[in-house]
């Protein structure tokens, strides 16, 4: 991790993106207005006037001045990229982290926005590929005047958060565990592998270095093929997981230094275990139990303190090797010719906010869901609730933000805290379909809260 990171919350900008609905006569009525300073937009939404049933005549709802921009259904992915992501390049090229979350009802266009379904047409590619393309253009320009050993590439990490685990989409969908480390940071690590010589390796989510845009696109497509989809209450290609795409500026020295940290961690494990075993063995021989089960010193054994000290010394040597490897990572940042090293785009395609709901599950579409899908749906809803609580705690300026309340918020913690001068944006994807009115209202209300909490309009 770059040394310049500090524990500081980034500000949030919120955008609304209405998806098109060409053949829908009964669309939600939307009006938008500008606040007095002209920096923010507010929206008023209401049911179509001819709506039948109990919600007929519901009063229009007006948001606060929370939204940086409201996109029209006719705005394509390119327009969203140019308005939301383009302006953040100077930050990433200066080593900062910029995050983009898509939040919305199932089928409202989150995957369409973040990943896109057409990876060739520049107007249709999602934000991740468009950012990758422009990032390569900038890196190629820098590489043309950079020595061979400092050439820059894009390090891709791609994983999905499902139930309590993360699954590495670039490493055969390996299950990884989300834990808080002794350093208070979230670590996402795979199963423990036992290697030759007693070495034990625990791999973090893989970073694949990509040296060209073509390679990046192919890696993303390979990863997407492993992404879990299911049947939501709205459509059959629903994402059942929250997917995270990270594009980080890396170079060979950084990749090697980080690999060396993993290697040194693996080497330390057997020596750490040996030191503990020796200590326990010596101490267990030094005490015996009397007839009442009480422990007393064993008169026939003297603790071999030299043996304990020798094992501790060897362990310390390996700890120092690890510390030296970690220091080398920091040194790579400190000596980099380019401030963009470690700069990162993070795109998050959140699972559908209404993936499962009680009412919909009894409908024809809802009944297509399996019991497992319904259980996943409950986890998704609880993740998204936890996310809401994190944002609310932040709005209230609470000193304790409940990041630990769900695997999703634990994973997002590093991005939320971000780097100094980082940037976060939430794109609310919404449908103007009349039968989606309740879900749309929910999404916009949620975004209203985020916008009020996070923007400088607060
Ligand atoms: N703005 C848009 N323009 C054109 N097509 C869109 C737009 N938004 C969504 N679609 C289309 O609607 C369908 C559903 O969209 P998408 O898969 O992105 O929904 P989602 O919000 O990711 O749903 P889920 O949460 O269930 O995964 C796709 O076929 C997608 O191409």
372/154 Cα distance (integer angstroms): 36
242-253 as b/e: b if 16+ CB within 10 A: bbbbbbbbbbbb
Report whether pLDDT(255) > 70: yes
Q: How far is the CA of 274 from the centre of ligand 1 (A)?
A: 54
Cα 183 from chain centre = 19
The predicted model gives 364-390 an average pLDDT of 75
Ligand 1 site, residue 231, Cβ cutoff 6 A:
no
Listed in sequence order, the DSSP H helices in 291-344 are: 305-335
Residue 297 and residue 287 in contact, taking contact as beta carbons nearer than 8 Å: yes
Residue 121 and residue 235 in contact, taking contact as beta carbons nearer than 8 Å: no
Domains and their CATH numbers in the chain: 12-249+338-454 (3.40.850.10), 261-328 (no CATH)
pLDDT digits (tens, 9 = 90+) for 80-125: 999 999 999 999 999 999 999 999 988 899 999 999 998 888 889 9
Q: How far is the CA of 168 from the centre of ligand 1 (A)?
A: 23
- Residue 3's pLDDT is 39
User: Is 364 buried (19+), middle (13-18) or exposed (0-12) by CB count in 10 A?
Assistant: exposed
Query: Which residue, chain included where needed, has tokens 């938008």?
Result: 32
Shortest-distance atom of ligand 1 to CA 352: 25
392/308 Cα distance (integer angstroms): 51
ipTM confidence score? 0.98
Residue 352 and residue 234 in contact, taking contact as beta carbons nearer than 8 Å: yes
Ligand 1 site, residue 95, Cβ cutoff 6 A:
no
Ligand 1 site, residue 123, Cβ cutoff 6 A:
no
HEC string of 273-292 equals HHHHHHHHHHHHHHEEECCC
Shortest-distance atom of ligand 1 to CA 113: 18
To the nearest whole number, what is the mean pLDDT of the chain? 84
Is 186 assigned to a binding site?
Answer: no
Kindly report the protein residue whose alpha carbon is nearest to atom 30 of ligand 1.
112
Shortest-distance atom of ligand 1 to CA 429: 21
Classify residue 160 by its DSSP letter: E
pLDDT digits (tens, 9 = 90+) for 270-295: 899 999 999 999 998 988 888 888 88
Percent of the chain with pLDDT over 70: 85
HEC string of 209-250 equals EECCHHHHHHHHHHHHHCCCEECCCCCCCEECCEEEEEEEEE
Phi-psi region of 37 (alpha: psi -120 to 50; beta: other; left: phi over 0): alpha
Q: How far is the CA of 110 from the centre of ligand 1 (A)?
A: 6
Shortest-distance atom of ligand 1 to CA 77: 1
More confidently predicted of 451 and 341? 341
Q: Choose the most confident range, by mean pLDDT, from 13-22, 262-271, 308-317.
A: 308-317
Q: Give the model's confidence band at 136: pLDDT under 50 very low, under 70 low, under 90 confident, else very high.
A: very high
Q: Choose the most confident range, by mean pLDDT, from 104-118, 371-385, 439-453.
A: 104-118
Q: How far is the CA of 69 from the centre of ligand 1 (A)?
A: 20
Ligand 1 site, residue 240, Cβ cutoff 6 A:
no
CB atoms within 10 A of CB 257: 19
Ligand 1 site, residue 443, Cβ cutoff 6 A:
no
Q: How far is the CA of 333 from the centre of ligand 1 (A)?
A: 39
Q: How far is the CA of 328 from the centre of ligand 1 (A)?
A: 44
Is 105 assigned to a binding site?
Answer: yes
Q: How far is the CA of 111 from the centre of ligand 1 (A)?
A: 6
Is 230 assigned to a binding site?
Answer: no
Is 272 assigned to a binding site?
Answer: no
Q: How far is the CA of 53 from the centre of ligand 1 (A)?
A: 28
- Residue 125's pLDDT is 94
Ligand 1 site, residue 72, Cβ cutoff 6 A:
no
Q: For a pocket test of ligand 1, which of 77, 112, 373, 433 has the largest count of ligand atoms closer than 8 A to its C-beta? A: 112
Q: Give the model's confidence band at 331: pLDDT under 50 very low, under 70 low, under 90 confident, else very high.
A: very high
Ligand 1 site, residue 109, Cβ cutoff 6 A:
yes
Q: How far is the CA of 289 from the centre of ligand 1 (A)?
A: 69
Q: What is the DSSP string of 349-364?
A: EPPPTTSS-HHHHTST
Is 106 assigned to a binding site?
Answer: yes
Report whether pLDDT(457) > 50: no
Ligand 1 site, residue 66, Cβ cutoff 6 A:
no
Shortest-distance atom of ligand 1 to CA 235: 26
Task: Average the pLDDT over each of 27-31, 61-65, 208-212, 348-352 and give the range with the smallest value.
Answer: 27-31
Ligand 1 site, residue 377, Cβ cutoff 6 A:
no
More confidently predicted of 123 and 131? 131
- Residue 365's pLDDT is 46
pLDDT digits (tens, 9 = 90+) for 409-428: 999 888 877 656 778 899 99
- Residue 8's pLDDT is 44
Query: Which residue, chain included where needed, has tokens 């629903």?
Result: 238
């Amino acid at each position: 991790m770059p040394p310049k990171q500090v524990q500081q919350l980034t500000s949030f900008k919120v955008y609304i993106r209405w998806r098109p609905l060409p053949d829908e006569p009964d669309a939600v009525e939307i009006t938008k207005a500008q606040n007095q300073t002209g920096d923010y937009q507010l929206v008023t939404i209401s049911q179509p006037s001819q709506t039948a049933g109990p919600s007929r005549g519901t009063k229009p709802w007006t948001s606060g001045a929370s939204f940086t921009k409201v996109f029209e259904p006719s705005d394509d992915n390119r327009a969203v990229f140019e308005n939301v992501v383009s302006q953040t390049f100077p930050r990433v090229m200066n080593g900062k982290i910029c995050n983009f979350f898509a939040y919305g009802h199932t089928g409202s266009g989150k995957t369409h926005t973040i990943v896109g379904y057409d990876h060739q047409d520049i107007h249709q590619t999602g934000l991740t590929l468009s950012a990758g393309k422009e990032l390569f253009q900038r890196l190629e320009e820098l590489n043309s005047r950079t020595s061979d050993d400092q050439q820059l590439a894009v390090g891709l990490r791609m994983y999905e958060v499902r139930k309590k685990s993360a699954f590495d989409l670039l490493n055969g969908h390996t299950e990884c565990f989300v834990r808080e480390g002794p350093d208070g940071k979230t670590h996402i690590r795979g199963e423990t592998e036992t290697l030759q010589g007693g070495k034990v390796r625990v791999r973090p989510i893989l970073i694949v270095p990509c040296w060209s845009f073509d390679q990046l696109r192919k890696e993303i497509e390979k990863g997407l093929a492993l992404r879990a989809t299911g049947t939501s209450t709205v459509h059959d290609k629903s994402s059942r997981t929250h997917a995270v795409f990270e594009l980080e500026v890396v170079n060979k020295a950084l990749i090697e230094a980080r690999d060396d940290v993993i290697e040194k961690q693996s080497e330390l494990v057997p020596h750490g275990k040996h030191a503990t075993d020796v200590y326990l063995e010596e101490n267990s021989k030094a005490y015996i139990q009397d007839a009442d089960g009480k422990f007393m010193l064993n008169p026939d054994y003297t603790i071999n303190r030299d043996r304990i000290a020798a094992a501790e010394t060897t362990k310390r040597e390996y700890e120092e090797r690890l510390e030296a490897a970690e220091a080398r990572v920091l040194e790579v940042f400190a000596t980099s010719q380019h401030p963009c090293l470690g700069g990162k785009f993070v795109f998050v395609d959140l699972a559908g906010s209404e993936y499962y709901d009680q009412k919909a599950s009894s409908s024809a579409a809802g009944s297509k869901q399996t019991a497992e899908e319904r259980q996943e749906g409950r986890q998704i809803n609880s993740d998204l609730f936890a996310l809401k609580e994190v944002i609310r705690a932040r709005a209230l300026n609470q000193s304790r933000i409940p990041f630990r309340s769900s695997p999703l918020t634990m994973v997002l913690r590093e991005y939320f805290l971000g780097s100094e001068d980082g940037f976060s944006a939430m794109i609310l994807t919404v449908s103007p379909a009349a039968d989606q009115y309740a879900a749309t209202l929910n999404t916009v209300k949620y975004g209203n809260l985020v916008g009020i909490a996070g923007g400088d309009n607060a």
